Chain A
Amino acid sequence: MNSNPKLELHPDAESLNAFAERALGEQERGRILAHLSECGRCRRVVYLAQEAAVEMEPELAVAAAAAAPARESETTQKKEARFWNWRLAWVPAGALAVMVTAAYVVHVRQVEVAGEQAKAAREAAAQNVEMAAAPETAQMEMKAAPSPGGHALTGQAPIAANELRQESPDKGLQKKMAAAAPAPLGVPEATAESSSDEVALPGTSGAAYPAVSADALRKPEPATQLQQGFAVGAPQVQIQTAGAPPQAGTVKPVMHKAAGGMLAAAARSAQVEADRGPAGGEAKGQQMGGGVFALGRAKLAPLPSGLPTVSAMPARDSTVAVDGAGGVFVSGDAGSHWESVAKQWSGRAVEVRLQTPVAGESTTYSAGAVFEIVNDQGQVWVSTDGRYWKAK
């Protein structure tokens, strides 16, 4: 305790300094505070010391660092460690924030693209329906051998079009494109053995995938999507009944050439329309191979030749496309990037398709997808990866 000449009592320098540096207990701090509230002299002392401290802050830091005991350095280390811990915590937090933002942007973009795609598909379907309802409506007859409990699949284009209206635009477009395949290049073939209504899809084994009823073919169930290409080359559909001879009841839909040609034209127009899309065209196709039969969406980038895509066929892990000049391209990433394939065939390639399974065999593609290229003379080359081709 210090005194002034009038014997006033004041806290000593250490108490005032400890008060300013928050080094006092609550009780003593209260006493100093009470004194400061009444003592102008001590308030002035504290203010002057505080102002000097503010002016000397850089020097203080040096002095404090030089005179700090080991305990203080430990405290500093702890504070620094805490700071670094927090700093490190910001890294994953920032990364997480970036990921969330990116996911949101991608999601929004996908939603927009899906909306545009659906709109385009609706327009294409509407065009096809109008064409199917024309006087030259194609009729498709499906001849079925009589069998107990069996059924004959008889289809007419207008009826199919009516069904398509009830389905989702994308699925309707796919079915329309599949149905539009010209007969020589891949007539949809259905084999029915009609003791039951089970359908075994090509490329799938009955044990691995549940069979579906034939009626389900008319419904927009994902498991009953018909295997199909983009333009031409629709694969087969087999309807089998367990225990019956494969050829006993075969239903072969026969498409009139007129109808086939018209629908193929419609499909091509849809393809061309899809090619005009912002990313060079979007298409849907089924990827099939290794027992996997799933509807996949492929967003095709423009071909390196710059020409429109005449034919494209996605498979398990490759996509093969043919451009207008007969050039063949293969993509390993579902059509995002294309590689040109060296010409290993004669003539001009006009179509790519998956290998047509032999009638009655339901495991044609069990070993993997086999691409086929058809040239302008009708000759066929086959490849398992789309890069190396040999004559069939």
Chain B
Amino acid sequence: MVLALNFCVWFWPIVFAYCEGVGITPIESVKGAADEGVREQPRTIDGALVDALWQECETASWGLGRGEFSRILHEVGAAHNFGLEDGAAASRPQQAAYFRGLRLGDLVLARACAAGNERAWERFVAIYREPLVRAAIAITGSDTLGRELADQLYGELFGLTTRDGERRCPLESYRGRGSLIGWLRTTLAQRHVDHYRRTHREQPLEEFDTPAAEAEVEKPAAELTVLETAVEGALKSCEAEDRLVLAAYYLDGRTLLQIARVLEVHEATVSRKLKRVCEEIRKQVVKNLRSAGLNRRAADEALGADPRDLDVNLKKLLQYSQLDAFKEKAG
């Protein structure tokens, strides 16, 4: 009897303490408690989390109220579904983890600038004006072009462009993933590349040699046709990262160091990967040739064919467009 009494005296407080620790309150049903954090699909962001983030980012000093900050968080969270797969519902801890992973300080500053806050602009100019110019110069490789590019972007950021009578600021598209200076650099690079592509297309015709009359297209040998098909199949079977390494090294002429910086791996890792991918492609080509009916010896001989005899457009193969990879349309 005494033992049972002691059991009750010690057992239930422990149970209640555990329930309190995991967030189960006595008025919640057991089912509801079990589903906490798993099936909960909040449509709103926890107010306490918004308050905490609002204070951490010193949002008030940029003239953004709590309501505006909450709206920004909703927009940012919904834009990428809190970093989850499409259709998945983010629990409160997942929301908190997503927001903690963002550059909220940069985000608040960018949004305050987009809203036209003077103090925010002063801060922005003090921090990013000079780096912006230097980045533009580094990207263009020319002081004049760099300053021109930076001024152009700076004007856009300041909201000099309007669309449908409404002032548009590119900073509104910044959602805190990655640093603001990185976003500025990438935006500059985008503008520069697009500008280059436009102007490249506008080059005068006299710079181009008149193409020679096409010779009679000889029908390639049957082995070469099989080889072309095998190479195409092998390249298409590569994984995305492998194709990126191949394209960057062989098409873009990037160095191993440049590729390594993009992939954030060591230079030697890129070198090994490149070697491995080439080996795999070779094996895959041989495999495709053999599956096309060639024996081992014939497949090896086919690999020794002069590449100039092949009508394989590697650039086209490695850079075929997958427009369905992104949902958004240009606009």
Q: Which residues of A contact B (CB under 8 A)?
A: 1-5, 7-18, 20-25, 27-28, 30-31, 33-41, 43-56, 59-60, 63-64, 66-72
Contact = CB atoms under 8 A, between A and B. Distances in A.
A23 B185 CA distance: 16
B17 to A, nearest CB: 30
Nearest to B329: A9
B320 A17 contact: no
A21 B194 CA distance: 22
B90 interface: no
Interface in B274-331: 318-323, 325-326, 328-331
A71 B100 contact: yes
B57 interface: yes
- Which residue among B135, B179, B328 has the maximum number of chain A CB atoms within 10 Å of its CB? B179
Given A14-B174, A50-B261, A71-B100, A34 B56 contact: no
A5 B194 CA distance: 9
Contact of B326 (A1, A40, A59, A68): A1
Interface in B202-234: none
A59 B198 CA distance: 31
Nearest to B238: A37
B104 interface: yes
Contacts, number: 192
Contact of A43 (B138, B175, B190, B244): B244
The majority secondary structure among interface residues of chain A is helix
A90 to B, nearest CB: 25
The majority secondary structure among interface residues of chain B is helix
- 5 nearest CB pairs, A to B: A3-B330, A69-B105, A1-B328, A37-B243, A37-B244
Interface stretch (B66-74, B123-131, B160-168): B123-131
Given A63-B127, A71-B100, A52 B185 contact: yes
Interface of B: 56-57, 80, 83-85, 100-101, 103-106, 109, 127-128, 130-131, 134-135, 138-139, 173-175, 177-183, 185-190, 192-194, 197-198, 240-244, 247-248, 251-252, 254, 258, 261-262, 264, 318-323, 325-326, 328-331
Given A37-B244, A45-B186, A69-B57, A31 B177 contact: no
Contacts of A9: 323, 325-326, 328-330
A8 B321 contact: yes
